[in-house]
Amino acid sequence: MHEFDYVVAENLTEATKLLSDHKGSARILAGGTDLLVIMRNGRRQAKLVIDAKKIPELTDLSLNDEGLSIGAAVTCRQIWENTELAGDYPAIIDSASLIGGIQVQGRATIGGNLCNAAPSADAIPTLIAYGAIAHIQNSDGQRQVPVEEICQAPGQTSLSEDEILVKLTIAKPVAHSGAKFLRFIPRNEMDIAVVNVASMVELDSEGKSFLKARIAMGSVAPTPLFVKAAGDSLAGKEVNDESIKAAALIAREAATPITDMRGTIEHRKQLVEVLTVRTLNAAVARAKGEQS
């Protein structure tokens, strides 16, 4: 690994000043489970690594009447350990509890998962399905961006070189809503998703019709994909196999996967259809309180 300087930033002002003073040659380190790997294998160089794990705004995990706020340096383990969170945001737990194994989850963050912008990232479809907002800051101020607008290409985000992700917020889910994340890998854990899908649904008070749905998926395009048309197709439709299958077929059509050692184009398209059906059914069950 090449040599680099390392600074533990104490606050946001210090971190954004360092990013601005070393524009292009500094990287933020959250858990380091992606950054250190890609610096070691030479895919990314940094002269300065800024450890963000001591910045108060980035380590805050809070839940209130407005919704959920996940600081960008909050670990996956802190998320799945939080029992309060499971009730309203079960799909966040679905993702956080399967990223890597137990050691990785003690370091890895959802913020890092997003900023690393891997097409296969397991937290990003869930964030998109929930309509999460990224709060981004530089020395000049803050801006807020829907998560689906962050990833631009593999490993590339819409953040400028002087910007830091501060937190991710998700509005409090409305009554009769539910969400589910699933991924397919050929073994039980510690593998990259062949395909992953997250679905969020809002149902009417009787649980008979969809009011709204959001579907997102990974490993099927250069970036995690928000399939707006698939979710929109469900609005006003009855909750039944036919409407769910139709949404899954739209998702399948939207997928533009490649063939690689993990799967073929056809296999991945089939997985999109299957996982969309399964996540929608599970999200409906959660919305009805039938499944935790």
Which residues bind to ligand FAD, rule: CB under 6 A?
A: 27-35, 37, 52, 72, 98-100, 104, 107-109, 111-113, 115-116, 121-122, 159, 164-165, 190
Spatial contact of 55 and 9, defined as CB atoms under 8 Å apart? yes
> Which residue lies nearer to ligand FAD by CB, 36 or 249?
36
Distance of closest approach, residue 55 Cβ to ligand FAD, in angstroms: 9
Distance of closest approach, residue 185 Cβ to ligand FAD, in angstroms: 8
Q: In whole angstroms, how far apart are CA 5 and each of 26, 27, 72, 225?
A: 9, 11, 22, 36
> Which residue lies nearer to ligand FAD by CB, 31 or 263?
31
Which two tokens mark 180? 């589910």
> Which residue lies nearer to ligand FAD by CB, 65 or 187?
187
> Which residue lies nearer to ligand FAD by CB, 67 or 100?
100
> Which residue lies nearer to ligand FAD by CB, 108 or 215?
108
Spatial contact of 244 and 281, defined as CB atoms under 8 Å apart? yes
> Which residue lies nearer to ligand FAD by CB, 35 or 194?
35
Distance of closest approach, residue 121 Cβ to ligand FAD, in angstroms: 4
Distance of closest approach, residue 28 Cβ to ligand FAD, in angstroms: 4
Q: Which residue has the tokens 């971190």?
A: 15
Cβ-proximal residue to ligand FAD, closest one = 112
> Which residue lies nearer to ligand FAD by CB, 30 or 216?
30
Distance of closest approach, residue 99 Cβ to ligand FAD, in angstroms: 4
> Which residue lies nearer to ligand FAD by CB, 173 or 224?
224
Report the distance separating Cα 71 and Cα 66, nearest Å: 15
User: Mapped to the 3 state alphabet, what secondary structure does 6-38 carry?
Assistant: EEECCCHHHHHHHHHHCCCCEEEECCCCCHHHH
Distance of closest approach, residue 33 Cβ to ligand FAD, in angstroms: 3
Distance of closest approach, residue 229 Cβ to ligand FAD, in angstroms: 25
Spatial contact of 204 and 176, defined as CB atoms under 8 Å apart? yes
Closest by Cα among 68, 66, 72 to 29: 72
Distance of closest approach, residue 41 Cβ to ligand FAD, in angstroms: 11
